Structure 1
C-alpha cells in the first residue's frame, strides 16, 4: 500500500531539466490553486517538521523497503486520493505537504561525483515555460529573479528538512522500532469481513514501551518522542480515510458494490 516508488525519478516527477539563463531566460513560472499531479497519488512523502500539522488530516506511516520514509496517506489504495478531485481541486481545506508545494522544482545533483545541487524542474508540469503570463525566472541581466530566488530558498529549506527527517528515520531504525503495519477496519454491512490494509510500516508500540528511560528522555529532549506520538495518534485517521473512500465511491468497497449491482442487473438464464 505504501511502497517506495521504483523509479530513478522522485514521485510526481516525469522528467528533470536544470534551470539556467541560457536556455530559459524568458521563461516564467505559473501559480495554480489546483494540484492535478497528485489527484491519483495515495501517499506523499512528508518531512518530520510537518508531522504536527499533517497528523490532523492524514495518517502518517512509513514506506516499506530498505530506506523507509514518512508518508502522508491520502487514500488507502493505489490511485485513490480522497482529499483532491481529479482536476486537482482540494476537497475542503487539507494541509498540502511541502513535497507537493515544491513541485515542479527540486534541487538535484547534476554530477554524481559532486555535492553541488542545482535547481531543476519538471518540464512536463505545464507550470514552467515561455509563457506570456507568470512570474519571470530571470531578469534582463540574466540573474535569477526574486521569484526564482524564493523558489530556490524553499527547495533549500526542504532539503534541510529532509536531512532532519533522515536522522529521525535513522534513530527509529537503530532502535529497531519499525514493524510491518496492518490495519483492519470493520464494515457495517459485513462485520465478519473487515477490510485489511498492509504494505506499510509503523512504530512497534510494545518495543517503544520497552525502551530504556535514558533513551526516552533523550528523545523527549531533542523532539523525537513527540514525532513518534504524532505518527501513532494519526493512525486512527485510517478509518476516516476509509469512510471518505466509501462516500466518494472509491477503493475496493466501491468496486465490490459495482460488481453486486452488475450481478443484480444481469439477465437471469
Structure 2
C-alpha cells in the first residue's frame, strides 16, 4: 500500500495515507462530535486569511525562531486550552475554529519528494473516516463523491492561504519588525506577576516610525491591516488568562 512520507508529521497527525478509490472505495466519513486532540493544545497555526476572524477570539502571535509562523493562542500555558472541555468539545458554539483544525484528518502531501503534485491524504488513526455502516461515502461508482470534492477544494484553499502566509512572513522578516514578545499579567492575591515569553510580536514603535516607500508598499500589499489585527488581538491575552483562572488552570507565577 502506498503511503505518504511519515517524517515530521504536522501537529495532530499520527500518520498519513493517500486517499484511493481502490483501497477506500467503501470508506465513509462521519461528523466529529469532539476533538480530543485539542484538549491539551494551547497554540494553533493560522493563516493571514483568518486574522480578521481570529483576532476577535484569540491572541495572534508569532512563533519563536527564524522560521516563525502566526499562531492563535487557545491557552497561555502548555497543555491548557480554555475554549474546549476535557473531551475536546467547544465550550462556546460561536467560537471561530481555525482552518488548521477543521482540515484534520485530511492533508495535501507529496507522495514522493520529487513529486510535483500534491495528493489528498488522511490520518488513518482518525475515528471520523473508515468502513462505517452509516455516514457519507467518499466514493460513488469509483469516482470521488461530492463530499470528497469539497474536502479537496477546502484543502487546496488552505494550501493557497498557507502560501500567502509564507510570503507575508518573508516580507515581515525583511522589515525587521518582529521582536521577542513578553506579556506580564498581575493577578489579585499574588505578589508576583505572571510573565509570558517564548513568542514574537510586532514592534509597535518601529511600525509607527515607518515612512515613505516602505510604508506605501506595506499599505498597498494589504499587510498593514494584518499587523494591526495582530496588535489588537494581544489585549485578549488577559481574557484567556482570566478563562484559565475560572477553569482552575492557574499557572505558577514568575519569581524574581
For Structure 1 versus Structure 2, the TM-score category normalised by the shorter chain is over 0.9
Distance 2:229 2:153 in 1: 27
Match of 2:164 in 1: 164
Q: Is the aligned partner of 1:244 residue 2:250?
A: no
1:114-263 → structure 2 map (5 Å cutoff) = 114-140=115-141, 142-190=142-190, 192-253=191-252
Q: Which runs of 5+ in 2 are unaligned?
A: 1-6
CA displacement at 1:198 relative to structure 2:
0.6
| Structure (1/2) with the larger helix percentage | 1
User: Could you list the per-position Cα deviations for residues 205-227 of structure 1 after superposition, in whole angstroms to 9, with x for gaps in the alignment?
Assistant: 12212222322222222211000
Question: How many residue pairs get matched?
Answer: 246
Give TM-score scaled by structure 1 length. Answer: 0.88
How many angstroms apart in 1 are the aligned matches of 2:66 and 2:218? 23
SS of the aligned residue for 1:240 comes to helix
Q: Deviations over 1:142-187 (max 9, x none)?
A: 1111110100000000000001111110111011111111100011
What corresponds to 2:21 in structure 1?
Answer: 21
Q: Using the alignment, how far apart are the partners of 1:122 and 1:46 within structure 2? A: 20
User: 2:116 & 2:43 partners in 1: Cα distance?
Assistant: 29
Larger Rg: 1 or 2? 1
4+ long deviations beyond 3 Å? none
Q: TM-score, normalised by structure 2?
A: 0.93
How far residue 34 of structure 1 moved from its aligned partner, in angstroms, is 2.2
CA RMSD of aligned residues (A): 1.3
Partner of 1:87: 87
Equivalent residue, structure 1, for 2:70:
70
SS of the residue aligned with 2:201?
strand
**Contact 1:80/1:251 (<8 A) preserved:** no
In the TM superposition, residue 14 of structure 1 has moved relative to its aligned partner by: 1.1
Structure 2 residue aligned with 1:56: 56
What is the distance in 2 between the residues matched to 1:81 and 1:230? 22
Aligned counterpart, 2:3: none
Residue in 1 that maps onto 2:108: 107
Shift of 1:236: 0.8
In 2, Cα distance between equivalents of 1:88 and 1:156: 26
For structure 1, the 5+ residue unaligned runs are 1-6, 257-269
Provide the C-alpha distance between the structure 1 equivalents of 2:212 and 2:56, rounded to a whole number of angstroms. 29
